[in-house]
DNA sequence: ACCTCCCGCCATCGT
DNA sequence: ACGATGGCGGGAGGT
């Protein structure tokens, strides 16, 4: 698919870089380069071509592959489009189109399709005026544009410019489960590409940072981690939230809802509050990240997993005592909406309404993975030491600090033993096997996706082997009768598309469609019920749930699900259950727990038809079939089989590795099971990345997975529940502050307890020490 | 009229 | 000092 000719590629890149927003230009350029179709009729064709041509370019640009131009080169000055947004063009070559094209290029086919169809469609009008860049050297034929562009008078509606949509686009640019190598994100490029101001990108990035989906590398440059760490991050947040007693707060403030007034317990009360940030108002920056983490924590500790905006705002305001202050409240609410939009795009929450005495209040419901609670938690105990639900009991605090979590900084700093050393070491391996705490991070590493399009997601995961990833391409999972998106979410892999034909799946990604289904549903109920219910409802149709389902579409009743790498709504943790030791055990049961909606759902995959498969160091697990039986899903037997009959999941497990955190990823082609634990193993092996990726990764900061992942298991010495209380206060005063990593730094942060200068502290690079300077 | 939340000014921070 | 970040809240689109 890629262009064979480097030169061309380069050119395209350049073009793209120069003017991402103007499709016409690109097109023109492409033509110049080699694409000759100008005819409108052929636009699509051109596009395709362009796409293919641009694939690299895109990747490069956005992801900053190594090959790509150097950052500097790439770096484009942000264009402030004053007028952006203003005029949309309907036509294909609008910026949007362009974007699509590029995007598609960048990612796997599926993504491509999805993106285009889904994301962009809705957005179609959104585009900034092409004019902005026009100055660019070229002659972009105005004429052409004109023709093509109809000038829609229609300006993009506000919705089209929403942060949520923007976030979806942004997310579509990167794989949910990137290969281990780091993918760089150039702020400017992305902003330009998406046609928005940088400011907006920051909004997104900040939230993503809070979840460790991205990390900051250096100025203007961020690192895309994808969702590998999401589960672990969530687990940590949950643990922290418990430690901090957020659940109590929730109860008071939120769930009870009734009381506006003084929530009995405030974070501050508890002490921790936002210390750092809050501290004395010291630095507020990163507040969005902190807020985001706290907000997420609220969901994670909530029994109902539903948090009303009002409650969240109140709780989050803690800092500012002003709570009472209306303006403060309003501001908080605004921010929460911003955060919620991003989280919604991530498929972690969805908007709902709660009824309280006063009436209906806007709220959000967690639809993301929740299993980690169980699985992870369980594992966690074993593996990761997460703070026990009971705050006190747990001596071990979350192993790693969440980057963003400023909350804990204080404590951690004190408490934690950092393995700063490890930072340097990049690899996942860093974590000593024996280490007490295992950070989930391992999981993160797992390189899964292969980007190449849909291709075979299947990979062998050979811990050691880095090389071969794809064992069996094209395996597919069939989920007969599974209509539910939620199910899909379970495994969380890449997005699942139910339809075999990616194309058909268009709707899947739901960006536009968000809510379509949702709206109908009632979310208040029990998760389990709901899930089930939904499934049924959903079955047979394409379901597009907002966040959760993104990417999943079901065609018809049949549900063949193809999981595409791109995004998975939820992470699925497979086998968390399997004891680490078990690896070899025949019983490889893979659980797919859907954290999200199906909180309860867990699929037991006994794929191990091949008993021996998992055994030993490299046991391979061949799963001709994977049957998933879920109580919840009784009706829906899940069978994953390689393409057809033979799907195999083969992966090798290192003897030592644990399966527990394995993830099940289903690529378009097939399911993959990756155990986080193995991740490191896997890490070694780049999973398939497309060539481009390779390039990209290479470039990655020195350590590809390293800093990030490597969370060394950190053990926190202190047992105390130091919760926020201390944190808060301390934060300000103590070194903890320095300690805080800024949000986003979680990764590193965890590792680096070291005090940092504020500045540095503020921004910790994922990459750890990376070159940032 | 209220809910959302875009937009972009401008204070801070980072380099 | 200058550019990068990101807090913040006015005010307007949506419903």
What pLDDT sits at residue A229?
A: 84
A205 CB less than 7 Å from any atom of strand C: yes
Q: CA dist A682 to A102, A456, A588, Å?
A: 29, 16, 18
Beta partners for residue A562, in sequence order: A497
Q: Which parts of A158-213 are beta strand (E)? A: 183-186
Residue A247 in this model has a pLDDT that exceeds 50: yes
Mean pLDDT for A443-470 is 25
Residue A268 in this model has a pLDDT that exceeds 80: no
The rounded distance, in Å, linking the Cα atoms of A559 and A541 is 10
Render A715-740 in DSSP notation, one character per residue: -B---S---HHHHHHHHHHSTHHHHP
A279 CB less than 7 Å from any atom of strand B: no
Mean pLDDT for A46-67 is 38
The rounded distance, in Å, linking the Cα atoms of A486 and A490 is 6
The token pair that represents A772 in the structure block = 């940032």
What pLDDT sits at residue A204?
A: 92
Please report, rounded to whole angstroms, the spatial distance between the CA atom of protein residue A579 and the C1' atom of nucleotide C1. Answer: 57
Residue-range domain boundaries for chain A: 6-161, 448-496+558-688
Candidate from A157-166, A168-177, A383-392, A479-488 with smallest mean pLDDT: A479-488
Residue A225 in this model has a pLDDT that exceeds 70: yes
Please report, rounded to whole angstroms, the spatial distance between the CA atom of protein residue A158 and the C1' atom of nucleotide C13. Answer: 6
Confidence of residue A370 (pLDDT cuts 50, 70, 90): confident
A334 CB less than 7 Å from any atom of strand B: yes
What pLDDT sits at residue A118?
A: 55
The rounded distance, in Å, linking the Cα atoms of A458 and A668 is 9
Given a contact cutoff of 8 angstroms between Cβ atoms, the answer to whether A18 and A133 are in contact is yes
Q: CA dist A464 to A161, A277, A454, A461, Å?
A: 45, 42, 24, 8
Burial (CB < 10 A; 0-12, 13-18, 19+), residue A86, is: middle
The rounded distance, in Å, linking the Cα atoms of A669 and A560 is 11
Instruction: Report which of residues A467 and A336 the model is more confident about.
Output: A336
Widest Cα–Cα separation across chain A = 71
The token pair that represents A460 in the structure block = 């062998």
Confidence of residue A327 (pLDDT cuts 50, 70, 90): confident
Please report, rounded to whole angstroms, the spatial distance between the CA atom of protein residue A545 and the C1' atom of nucleotide B4. Answer: 20
Beta partners for residue A212, in sequence order: none
Instruction: Report which of residues A371 and A573 the model is more confident about.
Output: A371
Distant-in-sequence, close-in-space partners of A204: CB < 8 Å, separation ≥ 6: A163, A166, A167, A170, A342
What are the strands of the beta sheet with A359-366, ordered from one edge? A306-308, A359-366, A349-356
Mean pLDDT for A1-20 is 33
CB atoms within 10 A of CB A280: 14
Q: Write a three-state SS string for A353-381.
A: EEEECCEEEEEEEECCCCHHHHHHHHHHH
Please report, rounded to whole angstroms, the spatial distance between the CA atom of protein residue A768 and the C1' atom of nucleotide C1. Answer: 28
What pLDDT sits at residue A252?
A: 57
Of A180, A223, A181, A178, the residue nearest A678 (C-alpha)? A180
pLDDT above 70 covers what percent of chain A? Answer: 22
- For residue A3, the number of C-alpha atoms closer than 13 Å in the C-beta half-sphere is 27
Residue A19 in this model has a pLDDT that exceeds 50: no
A229 CB less than 7 Å from any atom of strand B: no
Residue A319 in this model has a pLDDT that exceeds 70: no
Provide the 3-class DSSP secondary structure of residue A673. strand
What pLDDT sits at residue A452?
A: 21
What pLDDT sits at residue A250?
A: 66
The rounded distance, in Å, linking the Cα atoms of A413 and A417 is 8
Of A357, A245, A349, the residue nearest A307 (C-alpha)? A349
Candidate from A124-133, A236-245, A397-406 with smallest mean pLDDT: A124-133
Please report, rounded to whole angstroms, the spatial distance between the CA atom of protein residue A572 and the C1' atom of nucleotide B14. Answer: 38
CB atoms within 10 A of CB A178: 30
Residue A294 in this model has a pLDDT that exceeds 80: yes
Candidate from A146-155, A275-284, A453-462 with smallest mean pLDDT: A453-462
Q: Where are the alpha helices (DSSP H) in A279-424?
A: 287-301, 309-317, 326-345, 371, 377-382, 409-415, 420-424
What tens digit of pLDDT does each residue of A511-562 get?
Answer: 333 222 222 222 333 333 333 333 333 333 333 333 332 332 222 222 222 2
Confidence of residue A476 (pLDDT cuts 50, 70, 90): very low
Residue A340 in this model has a pLDDT that exceeds 60: yes
Per the structure, the residues numbered 311 to 330 in protein chain A that have their CB within 7 angstroms of any atom of strand C are 327-328, 330
Average pLDDT across chain A, whole number? 44
The token pair that represents A374 in the structure block = 């169980």
What pLDDT sits at residue A178?
A: 82
Instruction: Report which of residues A255 and A120 the model is more confident about.
Output: A120
B3: residue with closest CA to C1': A362
Burial (CB < 10 A; 0-12, 13-18, 19+), residue A328, is: middle
A334 CB less than 7 Å from any atom of strand C: yes
Strand B nucleotides in reach of protein CB atoms, 7 A cut-off: 3-10, 12-15
A287 CB less than 7 Å from any atom of strand C: yes
Given a contact cutoff of 8 angstroms between Cβ atoms, the answer to whether A715 and A436 are in contact is yes
What tens digit of pLDDT does each residue of A207-220 get?
Answer: 998 888 988 888 88
Mean pLDDT for A363-374 is 78
Please report, rounded to whole angstroms, the spatial distance between the CA atom of protein residue A203 and the C1' atom of nucleotide B10. Answer: 17
Instruction: Report which of residues A654 and A326 the model is more confident about.
Output: A326
Given a contact cutoff of 8 angstroms between Cβ atoms, the answer to whether A389 and A240 are in contact is no
The rounded distance, in Å, linking the Cα atoms of A479 and A501 is 15
- For residue A255, the number of C-alpha atoms closer than 13 Å in the C-beta half-sphere is 17
The rounded distance, in Å, linking the Cα atoms of A55 and A327 is 46
Backbone φ/ψ region at A479: left (φ over 0), alpha (ψ -120 to 50), beta: beta
Closest nucleotide to the alpha carbon of A199, via C1'? C6
A358 CB less than 7 Å from any atom of strand C: no
Most confidently modeled range among A86-95, A604-613, A663-672, A691-700 = A86-95
The rounded distance, in Å, linking the Cα atoms of A628 and A604 is 5
Per the structure, the residues numbered 624 to 663 in protein chain A that have their CB within 7 angstroms of any atom of strand C are none
The token pair that represents A623 in the structure block = 């799963």
Given a contact cutoff of 8 angstroms between Cβ atoms, the answer to whether A679 and A445 are in contact is yes
Residue A656 in this model has a pLDDT that exceeds 70: no
C6: residue with closest CA to C1': A285
Provide the 3-class DSSP secondary structure of residue A260. coil
Confidence of residue A161 (pLDDT cuts 50, 70, 90): confident
- Cα dihedral sign for A745, A747, A748, A754? positive
What pLDDT sits at residue A565?
A: 31
Residue A301 in this model has a pLDDT that exceeds 60: yes
What tens digit of pLDDT does each residue of A164-204 get?
Answer: 999 988 998 888 888 777 788 888 888 888 888 889 999 99
Confidence of residue A342 (pLDDT cuts 50, 70, 90): very high
What pLDDT sits at residue A286?
A: 64
Per the structure, the residues numbered 687 to 746 in protein chain A that have their CB within 7 angstroms of any atom of strand B are none
Residue A339 in this model has a pLDDT that exceeds 90: yes
Distant-in-sequence, close-in-space partners of A396: CB < 8 Å, separation ≥ 6: A385, A386, A387, A436, A437, A715, A716, A719
User: Tokens 């703070």 appear where?
Assistant: A387
Q: CA dist A248 to A241, A363, A395, A409, Å?
A: 10, 18, 20, 21
pLDDT above 90 covers what percent of chain A? Answer: 3
Phi, psi (rounded to 5 degrees) for A396: -85, 130
CB atoms within 10 A of CB A4: 9
């Amino acid at each position: 698919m890629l262009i064979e000719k480097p030169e061309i590629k380069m050119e395209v890149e350049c073009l793209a870089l120069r003017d991402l927003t103007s499709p016409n230009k690109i097109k023109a350029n492409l033509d110049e380069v080699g694409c000759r179709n100008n005819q409108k009729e052929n636009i699509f064709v051109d596009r395709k071509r362009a796409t293919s041509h641009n694939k690299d370019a895109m990747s490069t640009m956005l992801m900053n592959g190594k090959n790509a131009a150097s950052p500097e080169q790439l770096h484009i000055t942000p264009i402030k489009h004053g007028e952006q947004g203003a005029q949309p063009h309907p036509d294909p070559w609008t910026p949007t189109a362009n974007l699509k094209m590029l995007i598609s290029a960048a990612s796997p086919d599926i993504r491509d399709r999805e993106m285009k169809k889904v994301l962009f469609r809705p957005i179609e009008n959104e585009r900034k005026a092409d004019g902005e860049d026009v100055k660019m050297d070229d002659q972009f034929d105005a004429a052409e544009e004109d023709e093509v562009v109809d000038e829609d008078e229609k300006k993009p509606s506000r919705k089209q410019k929403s942060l949520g949509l923007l976030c979806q686009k942004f997310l579509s640019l990167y794989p949910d489960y990137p290969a281990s190598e780091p993918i760089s994100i150039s702020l400017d490029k992305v902003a330009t590409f998406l046609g928005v101001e940088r400011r907006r990108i920051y909004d997104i990035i900040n939230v993503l940072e809070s979840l460790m989906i991205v990390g900051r590398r250096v100025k203007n440059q961020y690192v895309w981690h994808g969702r590998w760490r999401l589960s672990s991050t969530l687990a940590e947040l949950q643990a922290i939230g418990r430690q901090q007693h957020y659940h109590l707060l929730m109860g008071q403030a939120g769930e009870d809802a009734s009381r506006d007034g003084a929530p009995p317990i405030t974070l501050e009360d508890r002490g921790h509050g936002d210390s750092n940030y809050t501290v004395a108002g010291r630095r507020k920056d990163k507040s969005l990240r902190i807020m985001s983490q706290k907000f997420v924590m609220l969901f994670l500790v909530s029994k109902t997993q539903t948090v009303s905006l009002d409650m969240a705002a109140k709780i989050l305001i803690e800092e500012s005592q002003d709570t009472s202050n209306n303006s403060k409240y309003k501001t908080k609410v605004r921010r929460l909406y911003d955060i919620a939009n991003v989280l919604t795009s991530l498929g972690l929450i969805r908007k709902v309404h709660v009824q309280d005495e006063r009436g209906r209040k806007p709220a959000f419901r967690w639809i993301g993975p929740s299993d980690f609670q169980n699985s992870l938690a369980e594992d966690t105990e074993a593996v990761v030491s997460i703070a026990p639900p009971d705050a006190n009991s747990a001596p071990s605090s979350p192993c790693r600090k969440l980057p963003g979590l400023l909350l804990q900084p204080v404590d951690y700093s004190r408490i934690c033993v950092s393995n700063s050393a490890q930072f340097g070491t990049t690899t996942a391996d860093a974590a000593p096997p024996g280490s007490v705490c295992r950070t989930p991070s391992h999981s993160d590493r797992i390189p899964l996706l292969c980007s190449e399009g849909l291709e075979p997601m299947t990979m062998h995961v050979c811990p050691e082997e880095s090389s071969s990833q794809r064992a069996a391409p094209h395996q597919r999972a069939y989920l007969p009768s599974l209509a539910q998106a939620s199910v899909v979410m379970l495994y969380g892999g890449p997005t699942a598309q139910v339809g075999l034909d990616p194309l058909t799946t268009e709707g899947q990604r739901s960006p536009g469609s968000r809510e379509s289904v949702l709206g109908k549903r009632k979310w208040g109920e029990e998760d389990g019920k709901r899930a089930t219910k939904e499934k049924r409802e959903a079955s047979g149709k394409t379901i597009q749930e907002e966040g959760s389902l993104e990417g999943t579409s079901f065609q018809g009743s049949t549900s063949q699900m193809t999981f595409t790498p791109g995004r998975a709504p939820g992470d699925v943790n497979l086998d968390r259950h399997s004891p680490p030791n078990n690896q070899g055990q025949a019983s490889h049961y893979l659980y797919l727990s859907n954290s999200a909606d199906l909180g309860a759902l867990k699929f037991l995959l006994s794929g191990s038809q091949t008993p021996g498969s998992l055994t030993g160091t490299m046991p391979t697990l061949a799963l001709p079939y994977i049957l998933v039986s879920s109580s919840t899903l009784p009706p829906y037997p899940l069978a994953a089989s390689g393409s057809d009959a033979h799907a195999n999941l083969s992966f090798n497990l290192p003897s030592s590795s644990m399966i527990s955190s394995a993830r099940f990823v289903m690529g378009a082609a097939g399911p993959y099971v990756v155990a986080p634990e193995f991740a490191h193993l896997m890490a070694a092996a780049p999973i398939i990345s497309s060539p481009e990726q390779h390039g990209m990764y290479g470039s990655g900061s020195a350590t590809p997975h390293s800093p990030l992942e490597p969370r060394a298991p950190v053990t926190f010495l202190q047992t105390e529940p130091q919760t926020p209380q201390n944190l808060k206060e301390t934060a300000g005063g103590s070194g903890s502050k320095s300690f805080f990593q800024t949000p986003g730094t979680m990764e590193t942060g965890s590792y680096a307890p070291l005090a940092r200068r504020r500045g540095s502290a503020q921004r910790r690079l994922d990459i750890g020490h990376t070159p940032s300077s």
